[in-house]
Structure 1
Amino acid sequence: MNEQDTGISVPEFRDALARAVTAVTVVTTDGPGGMAGVTCSAVASVCDTPPTVLVCMNRRSYVNGVIKTNDVLCVNWLSSQQRGTSDLFAGVGAVPMKDRFEQGNWRTLSTGAPYSEDAMIALDCRVVSAMEVGTHSVFLARVLATKAHVEEHRDPLVYCKRTYATTQPTAHA
């Protein structure tokens, strides 16, 4: 890469993306590497045939290595009432990993990775591919099971302008 290909600076990139609204998720795993979870906003759908999502996670994250060992993950899209869960899994308070799952209602689906019963949506997945891009690992994960709260109104927890927010539907024109 030559000097002309370096693009924008890290602060400029972060400032630009701080203006984007992203869903707040907690990505969890359990298996031979142990149970772990981390707050993550870099999650997206890839395709529906087969149902696949991608999760981007810093390679320095403890959870990154655990997912690579376990080969399973569950993406929990948090509701607006779960700010505390987001903070907990982001490391606020330095709560030991195993103790984080003692707060809230955690169950399992097909892979054994924990899902939050209070989350808006949980997608239980098996990792099918992982690649390294810069400072992060990009996991492609096949969705094997889902749990969604469709019968009740819940607002999503989102992150925008470096703070938590939620969304409200807009009126149709």
Structure 2
Amino acid sequence: MPAQQLDELATRFRDAMAAVCTPVAVVTAMDGDRPHGTTVSAFASLSISPPSVLVSLDRGSDLLALVLRSGRFGMNVLGSRQSALAGQFARKGQDKFQDVAWRVDGGVPRIADVPHWIAAEVMETLEVADHTVVFGRVVDIASETIPPLTYHGRAFGTHAALATTGRAQA
């Protein structure tokens, strides 16, 4: 495929994926006593037996190198009022944890007041295109009932349940 067609396909793909609503999390790892993290929307639950998750990280990211070296990562799934936190961890730089309350829990940074937190041990990795998919076995978890932060149409938002009007129609 010619370069111009690839560029057009990439643009259409980016636009199509912007129309898909995704949850937002900050994936974290420790570098000695220093925390690192980045905002992601490419993560998911994988299995209940054993409890497992997956996250996709850019092959060139410092965070991926830390996750692979330590063998652990945290998933801090953000709540609907934490869009500023998502933006802070989406930017480049080493000072993402500045003014952020956190503690080490399960060997990984746990950000204060996130509604869903998971600590995982790396089970396996898979390199695909310019990313590495990291599969993790859940070793600890905490969860609250708070609406999630979502990303849709290149904007942060949240999910609201639809009102039910009785039985579903086929």
User: Normalized against structure 1, the TM-score is what?
Assistant: 0.85
Structure 1 residue 146 corresponds to structure 2 residue 146? no
Counterpart mapping for 1:45-84 below 5 A: 45-84=45-84
**Equivalent position SS for 1:9:** helix
Select the structure of larger CA radius of gyration.
2
Contact 1:33 1:70 in 2 (8 A): no
Counterpart mapping for 1:13-28 below 5 A: 13-28=13-28
Q: Which residue of 2 aligns with 1:117?
A: 112
Q: Which residue of 2 aligns with 1:42?
A: 42
Query: How much does 1:128 deviate?
Result: 0.8
Cα–Cα, structure 1 residues 138 and 20, in superposed 2: closer, same or farther, change >3 Å?
same
Identity of aligned residues (%): 30
Structure 1 residue 105 corresponds to structure 2 residue 94? no
Q: Which residue of 1 aligns with 2:85?
A: 85
Decide which of 156, 160, 166 is 1:164's aligned counterpart: 156
CA distance, structure 2, for counterparts of residue 65 and residue 107 of structure 1: 21
Contact 1:33 1:69 in 2 (8 A): no
Query: How much does 1:149 deviate?
Result: 2.0
Deviations 1:89-120 (CA, angstroms, capped at 9, x unpaired): 111xx5x42x332423212322x111122111
User: Normalized against structure 2, the TM-score is what?
Assistant: 0.86
Contact 1:128 1:142 in 2 (8 A): yes
Across the two proteins, how many residue pairs are aligned to each other? Answer: 161
**Equivalent position SS for 2:117:** strand
Deviations 1:102-157 (CA, angstroms, capped at 9, x unpaired): 423212322x111122111001001111111001000000000011124xxx2211
Structure 1 residue runs of 4 or more that deviate by more than 4 Å after TM superposition: 31-34
**What's the Cα RMSD here?**
2.1
CA distance, structure 1, for counterparts of residue 97 and residue 32 of structure 2: 17
For structure 2, list consecutive stretches of 5 or more residues without a partner in the other structure. Answer: 166-170
Contact 1:34 1:66 in 2 (8 A): no
**In proportion to residue count, which structure has more strand?**
2
Contact 1:54 1:139 in 2 (8 A): yes
CA distance, structure 1, for counterparts of residue 49 and residue 31 of structure 2: 26
